[in-house]
A and B are shown apart, each in its own frame.
Chain A
Amino acid sequence: MGSIRLEQVNKTFGDVTVIPSVDLDIDDGEFVVFVGPSGCGKSTLLRLIAGLEDTTGGRILIDGKDATDTPPAKRGLAMVFQSYALYPHMSVRKNIAFPLRMAKMDKAEQDRRIEQAAAVLNLTDYLDRRPGQLSGGQRQRVAIGRAIVREPAAFLFDEPLSNLDAALRVGMRLEISELHERLKTTMVYVTHDQVEAMTMADKIVVLRAGNIEQVGSPLELYHTPRNLFVAGFIGSPRMNFIEGPEAARYNAHTIGIRPEHIAVSADEGTWSGVVSVSEHLGSDTFFHVHDSGLAESITVRAGGEVGFRHGDRIFMTPREDVLHRFSADGLRLA
């Protein structure tokens, strides 16, 4: 139904190569998240799949058929844009109906699909309003509604939650995940937020400078990052990297240890340092530790009730079974 396959896809704008060469398989029904820092080419890659940009080389197959030169409307994909891209002068109903009207679908079927989508997305009461009269979250749902009614082979989301406030973002994240569970349609989702990637994805594609750094399930990426970039990008707060003699003790150029894998104590441990800042979140406390002789700052997570203050000397013990070792060129050592 909705499998997408990229074969050596590349894209250059003038002299600038945005995507050198990408091979990727997206299976039917999968929720795939493209994640990476801004400017890594993730949006371009999505637009290539959508057909809004032409590929410079390579092939795009949708459902096994070559769609490289197929116009966007004929690819059977629906896209939700970052700005929602609703049509401001049309009511919500007309916005959602627009793709159906363009497909010259008969009126009764149009109405049936609109009612259904509106019910799924809690938009029934707002069908006669204009987008300008809706809140950010409602606009977001209208944009999704406009995508759903087409019953596409796959949904493409381009940073859909970045214009929402933090609380709403969490809510919409859940709604999109639930929608995926219900529809079982392939979804490709672009974000720079690794929390969104971790929570929603079946499969995460980490991109840097147009190259795929690693593809895998959220936990695979968390437990076995292939290189320093992925290790630093996935997980929050980010992993601590330690170089020098301490790393050499583990036969590595760099070792990485996540804040949640370090135990703290007031009187004994492998490493010691001085607490610079402690952030109390209630459930957790994060300590930023200086003067440990390992790295400029080590971040440690402890329970909410651990109460070290600025200036306290503390001791830290890493869990050696979850210590990550990297070679000089940044690759993971087995």
Chain B
Amino acid sequence: MATQQSRSAARWMMAPAVVLLLGWMLVPLVMTLYFSFKQYLPLRGGDLGWVGFDNYIRFVTSSAFWPSIQATLLIVGGVLVITVGLGILLALLLDQPMWGQGIVRILVIAPFFVMPTVSALVWKNMFMDPVNGLLAHLWKFFGAQPIEWLSQVSMTSIIIIVSWQWLPFATLILLTAVQSLDTEQMEAAEMDGAPLLSRFWHLVLPHLSRAITVVILIQTIFLLSIFAEIFVTTQGSFGTRTLTYLIFQRVLESQNVGLGSAGGVYAIILANIVAIFLMRIVGKNLDA
């Protein structure tokens, strides 16, 4: 890459990829922005012209807007707490030498390979069904009234389903971090008189901080846009309508592309606010 010639050759060779990626990102973004300033109702008259910021104002003033933001943040927050917490515990457990370690690790990672739609359906029909679900049988076995999971505690149910899907990811990342912990450090702490809990608090947790940061950042990006799990379970009812789902309803159920596009722009802004916020809190862990 030293000579002038090889540098310009490299630029030419990279150009197709760069153009493709840029187009891939820019075209949808520009189209979303374009439609968000239009009154566009495909089944009720089509393109009805420019409307300025009307769509943006209508989207925010709708009674569904703030509850959808709240639902989104609740799901993201709940899943993060559960996956990071249980992920650390599982990673520590899986790090222990035991018989059949390889198989156990594959089993733990397995849920990640199940498609979101499938796993949500499995949970809905096999576990959370109030009549035939395994959980209903369990409740009945103890003589309790089965819970109607998806209608009575819909939010908790969705958080459980999504956490189940993302726990393997968190566990995997945290396990690699746990494995890289220096054993001599742990032994030094043991000789320094630190009991098990102190060793966890003063050594393991700080060591894991970078991995935890990575898990939180990556999961947040994906969790802000969860859709399939809600679509196949509650269809956005019982207070589980997230921002993504609200946009979907505006575009496809109300057939209002302009309003939905304005919602999409809000989603981009929300994602960026959350990202900046997270970077501020945990991003400094990535520097050290």
- Taking a contact as CB atoms closer than 8 A, the residue among B188, B193, B195, B203 that contacts A81 in the complex is B188
Task: Please indicate the chain B residues that have their CB under 8 angstroms from the CB of A73 in the complex.
Answer: 190-194
Total of A-B residue pairs, C-beta within 8 Å: 58
- Interface residues in B201-221 by Cβ distance below 8 A to A read 202-203, 206-207, 209
Is the CB–CB distance between A85 and B198 below 8 Å?
Answer: no
- Taking a contact as CB atoms closer than 8 A, the residue among B184, B207, B209 that contacts A85 in the complex is B184
A99 at the interface (CB under 8 A from B): yes
Is the CB–CB distance between A85 and B182 below 8 Å?
Answer: yes
Secondary structure class of chain A's binding surface, majority of residues: loop
Provide the bound-state CA to CA distance between A86 and B184, in Å: 9
B189 at the interface (CB under 8 A from A): yes
How many residues belonging to B are interface residues under a CB distance threshold of 8 Å? 19
Is the CB–CB distance between A99 and B190 below 8 Å?
Answer: no
Provide the bound-state CA to CA distance between A98 and B192, in Å: 7
A143 nearest in chain B by CB position = B188
Known A-B contacts A81-B184, A83-B182, A87-B203; A98 and B189 likewise in contact (beta carbons under 8 Å): yes
How many residues belonging to A are interface residues under a CB distance threshold of 8 Å? 24
Provide the bound-state CA to CA distance between A146 and B191, in Å: 11
B198 nearest in chain A by CB position = A102
Task: Please indicate the chain B residues that have their CB under 8 angstroms from the CB of A86 in the complex.
Answer: 185
Is the CB–CB distance between B202 and A52 below 8 Å?
Answer: no
Provide the bound-state CA to CA distance between A47 and B218, in Å: 42
Provide the bound-state CA to CA distance between A71 and B206, in Å: 25
B187 at the interface (CB under 8 A from A): yes
Task: Please indicate the chain B residues that have their CB under 8 angstroms from the CB of A72 in the complex.
Answer: 187, 190-191
Task: Please indicate the chain B residues that have their CB under 8 angstroms from the CB of A78 in the complex.
Answer: 191
Task: Please indicate the chain A residues that have their CB under 8 angstroms from the CB of B188 in the complex.
Answer: 79, 81, 85, 87, 146
What 4 additional pairs, Cβ within 8 angstroms, besides A73-B191, A78-B191?
A: A52-B191, A81-B187, A85-B182, A85-B184
- Selected A-B contacts with CB under 8 Å, 14 pairs: A73-B191, A73-B193, A77-B191, A78-B191, A82-B184, A83-B182, A85-B184, A85-B185, A87-B202, A87-B206, A89-B209, A89-B288, A103-B193, A150-B192
